[in-house]
């Protein structure tokens, strides 16, 4: 009976892992003031499915999108969106150099292993999400963050597969938190030095 109980527990744990294998968890969010405005630090937890490992190892780039919104709730009308930002991260493998590359805009980093590239991809540091020129009311705002794999940027055959298979889907629900009176957040007097994980 004990063996059966252990087997049932293992199967339940495996089922729970499988159910969450296509989900990104948003954690360790921190919005703080800087000279340029408000910057966000965030950490994400997820695992690539075996299918996604295979896709990127075969030279097909994966595009991840991080989205940020800052809104003011209004009971009498639609919510007021104070700021909205998108960050696109491109993960790819180059067979000639045998390196994984992570790029955003003109910035690019190379890694010897996929795990090293994923460790950097999962941590966002000093992302400017609200410009200093934006003005706020004396009110609390709601910030929301999410990350997702942008299946629309996969090659057409993979896009079709993503419609029917969760193995090619990876996303998080919106993670929401309250920002109290953002216009009262002080900016630092000294210039910001990059932190140890910013590279």
Structure confidence at residue 183 as a pLDDT band (50, 70, 90): low
Q: Is the pLDDT of residue 25 over 90?
A: yes
Between 110 and 3, residue with greater pLDDT: 110
Between 11 and 109, residue with greater pLDDT: 109
Structure confidence at residue 40 as a pLDDT band (50, 70, 90): very high
H/E/C letters for each residue in the chain?
Answer: CHHHHHHHHHHHHHHHHHHHCCECEEEEEEEEECCCEEEEEEEEECCCCHHHHHHHHCCCCEEEEEEEEEEECCCCCCCEEEEEEEEEEEEEEECCCCEEEEEECCEEEEECCHHHHHHHHCEEEEEEEEECCCCCCCCCEEEEEEEEECHHHCCHHHHHHHHHCHHHCCECCCEEEEECCHHHCCCCCCCCCCCCCCC
Q: Is the pLDDT of residue 58 over 50?
A: yes
Its pTM surpasses 0.85 = no
Q: What is the pLDDT, as a whole number, of residue 147?
A: 97
Between 42 and 4, residue with greater pLDDT: 42
Between 99 and 192, residue with greater pLDDT: 99
Q: Is the pLDDT of residue 122 over 90?
A: yes
Q: What is the pLDDT, as a whole number, of residue 79?
A: 73
Structure confidence at residue 78 as a pLDDT band (50, 70, 90): low
Q: What is the pLDDT, as a whole number, of residue 12?
A: 39
Q: What is the pLDDT of residues 130-151, one digit of tens each?
A: 988 887 777 888 999 999 999 8
């Amino acid at each position: 009976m004990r063996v059966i109980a252990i087997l049932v527990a293992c199967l339940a744990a495996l089922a729970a892992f499988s159910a969450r294998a296509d989900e990104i968890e948003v954690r360790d969010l921190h919005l703080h003031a800087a000279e340029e405005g408000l910057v966000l630090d965030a950490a994400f937890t997820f695992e690539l499915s075996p299918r996604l490992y295979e896709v990127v190892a075969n030279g097909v780039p994966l595009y991840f999108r991080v989205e940020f919104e800052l809104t003011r709730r209004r009971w009498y009308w639609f919510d007021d969106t104070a700021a909205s930002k998108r960050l696109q991260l491109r993960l790819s493998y180059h067979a000639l150099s045998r390196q994984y590359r992570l790029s955003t805009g003109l910035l690019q980093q190379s890694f010897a292993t996929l795990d090293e590239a994923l460790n950097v991809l999962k941590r966002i540091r000093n992302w400017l999400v609200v410009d200093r020129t934006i003005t706020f009311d004396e009110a609390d705002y709601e910030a929301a963050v999410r990350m997702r794999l942008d299946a629309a940027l996969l090659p057409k055959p993979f896009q079709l597969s993503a419609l029917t298979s969760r193995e090619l889907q990876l996303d998080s629900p919106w993670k929401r938190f309250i920002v109290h009176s953002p216009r009262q957040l002080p900016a630092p007097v000294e210039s910001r030095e990059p932190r140890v994980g910013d590279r």
